[in-house]
């Protein structure tokens, strides 16, 4: 969310004035809130939308309420919002946020199916062109176009069910066979675990954005034991 300022940089031949063209552009604004009842959610969102509308007005912008442009999704209940500030808001069953496909159940089924379909398509392309390229090129294509699809937002993958993990492993085995030459695929699960460990380390070192600071804390006490200061207190799901 912000402004894009374009400097035209053209001098007026008559008065030598610099002309500026101000382009106001706002895209992909996400407002979220959490509460135990729908009335509180509606109240919080209405207040946020009111503030946002005032900001839009001050910056000569208009909120696009067309379907697909302004939508809402509620997690944990089948109930729907009636209106926000008297305006009906379209309800959606899924939303793609930062590359992750979310649905109201938050079971990530939609995200996994889309991810798997994309990866399977790229694997088929690799299989078709493999006779035309060498082993090194095939490895690079796998690491650049197939593996990153599974490891994007890798911490999500730690909760995949056994059946989902087996489907990922199937792609890995087939890729290893297609690449050939005793190539050993680094498993997606090992990469996701590595990403998770790095996230925990960054949280402990405060090398993360504000919401994740203090997310993990060390368990420390006055007794001199082997595990003192080595174990972590995990955050509880709310």
**Predicted confidence (pLDDT) per residue in 171-227, tens digit:** 999 999 999 878 888 888 988 888 888 888 888 888 888 878 878 877 776 666 666
Q: Is 16 left (phi over 0), alpha (psi -120 to 50) or beta?
A: left
Q: What are the pLDDT digits (tens) for 131-157?
A: 999 999 999 999 999 999 999 887 888
Query: How large is the average pLDDT for residues 158-171?
Result: 91
Say how far apart CA 184 and CA 195 lie, in whole Å.
20
**pLDDT > 90 in the chain, percent:** 24
Q: Which pair of tokens denotes residue 26?
A: 């706002």
Query: Higher pLDDT residue, 199 or 16?
Result: 199
- Cα-Cα-Cα-Cα dihedral sign, residues 154, 156, 157, 159: positive
The model's pTM is: 0.70
């Amino acid at each position: 969310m912000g402004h894009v300022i374009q400097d035209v940089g053209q001098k007026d031949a008559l008065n030598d004035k610099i002309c500026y063209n101000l382009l106001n552009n706002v895209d992909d604004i996400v407002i979220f809130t959490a509460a135990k009842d729908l009335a509180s959610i509606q109240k919080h969102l209405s207040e946020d939308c009111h503030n946002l509308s005032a900001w839009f007005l001050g910056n000569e912008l208009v909120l696009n309420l067309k379907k697909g442009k302004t939508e809402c999704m509620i997690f944990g209940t089948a109930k729907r919002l009636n209106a926000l500030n008297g305006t009906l808001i379209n309800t959606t069953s899924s939303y793609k946020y930062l590359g992750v496909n979310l649905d109201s159940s938050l079971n990530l089924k939609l995200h996994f199916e889309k991810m798997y379909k994309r990866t399977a398509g790229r694997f088929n392309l690799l299989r078709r062109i493999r006779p035309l390229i060498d082993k090194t090129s095939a490895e690079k294509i796998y690491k650049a176009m197939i593996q990153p699809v599974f490891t994007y937002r890798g911490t999500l993958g730690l909760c995949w069910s056994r059946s989902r993990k087996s489907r990922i492993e199937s792609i890995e085995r087939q890729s290893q066979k297609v690449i050939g030459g005793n190539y050993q695929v680094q498993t997606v699960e090992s990469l996701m675990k590595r990403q998770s460990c790095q996230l925990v380390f960054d949280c402990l070192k405060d090398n993360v954005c504000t919401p994740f600071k203090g997310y993990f804390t060390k368990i420390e006490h006055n007794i001199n034991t082997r595990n003192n200061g080595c174990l972590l207190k995990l955050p509880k799901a709310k």
